[in-house]
Homo-oligomer: A and B are copies of this chain.
Amino acid sequence: MTILRTPLADGSARGIPDATVARLPVYLRALNALTEQGVSTCSSNDLAENAGVNPAKLRKDLSYLGSYGTRGVGYDVEYLRYQIAREIGQTQDWDVVIVGVGNLGSALSAYQGFSTRGIRVAALVDADPKRVGTTISGITVSSLDDLPAIVEERAISIGIIATPGTAAQEVADRLVAAGVTSILNFAPALVQVPDGVDVRKVDLSIELQILAYHEQRKAGNDKVVGA
């Protein structure tokens, strides 16, 4: 649950706020879009608009990385893209393992958006013997028991939990035991992990429940947004 901001005990003062880290991939995408449009230089206004954020926030975010812009001119799209990519580790590909190849796990294994963002689904794993050995998105499903071997062999540090909630904790334990140090949890359950392991949670139901809350409020009040 707690994403630790590594304090960097040594001198190299580099504590990028979590909120900023979460937006850097968005900026990267916006820069890629600009490149495709043939734009080679952009202002913080241009980029902010493409990314859907306030220009001041964008500039502040970028200031945590360094001074990569030119006053009076703006940012060089390609140069900035490279700097952000380097900062968030996108100059290399990251191999991930997906645990659970039900509907969601299968969909994730086929997700096109990963490959263009430096994420490579390197292995699929399932506890169900009936699924082990089948091929999904061109990858043969392995047994959960083979997790340690797979993680070590492919140097995987990121695991995705796409199992039912009841299996989530056990899967998390096994991932950690196998050497995984970052987990993306899609299961609707809380997972406990030791210090040094990051967990992020994506809860599909909760997102909809939040929208439902706002819908209910809209229905309750006549006017929604005061002009």
Q: Does A39 contact B (CB under 8 A)?
A: no
Query: Which B residues are in CB contact (< 8 Å) with A26?
Result: 206
- CB-contacts of A9-37 with B (<8 A): 9-10, 21-22, 24-26, 29
Q: How far is the CB of A40 from chain B (nearest CB, A)?
A: 21
Q: Does A174 contact B (CB under 8 A)?
A: no
Cβ-defined contact, A25 with B226, below 8 A: no
Q: Does A153 contact B (CB under 8 A)?
A: no
How many angstroms from the CA of A117 to the CA of B106 in the assembled complex? 23
Cβ-defined contact, B195 with A225, below 8 A: yes
How many angstroms from the CA of A211 to the CA of B117 in the assembled complex? 13
Interface stretch of the complex, out of A55-63, A69-77, A126-134, A212-220: A212-220
A interface SS class: mixed
Cβ-defined contact, B114 with A21, below 8 A: no
CB-based nearest B residue for A111: B204
CB-based nearest B residue for A227: B195
- CB-contacts of A97-130 with B (<8 A): 103-104, 106-108, 110-114, 117-119
Q: Does A96 contact B (CB under 8 A)?
A: yes
How many angstroms from the CA of A106 to the CA of B104 in the assembled complex? 9
Cβ-defined contact, A206 with B22, below 8 A: yes
Interface string of A190-227 (1 = CB under 8 A from B): 10000110101011111111111111111001011110
Q: How far is the CB of A85 from chain B (nearest CB, A)?
A: 10
Query: Which B residues are in CB contact (< 8 Å) with A52?
Result: 1, 190
Q: How far is the CB of A115 from chain B (nearest CB, A)?
A: 9
Interchain residue pairs with CB less than 8 A apart (17): A6-B224, A10-B221, A24-B213, A25-B205, A88-B209, A89-B213, A103-B106, A106-B107, A107-B107, A108-B204, A117-B209, A119-B212, A181-B215, A198-B215, A200-B210, A200-B211, A202-B202
The interface of chain A, by Cβ under 8 A from chain B, is: 1, 3-4, 6-10, 21-22, 24-26, 29, 50-52, 87-90, 94, 96, 103-104, 106-108, 110-114, 117-119, 157-158, 160, 164-165, 181-184, 188, 190, 195-196, 198, 200, 202-218, 221, 223-226
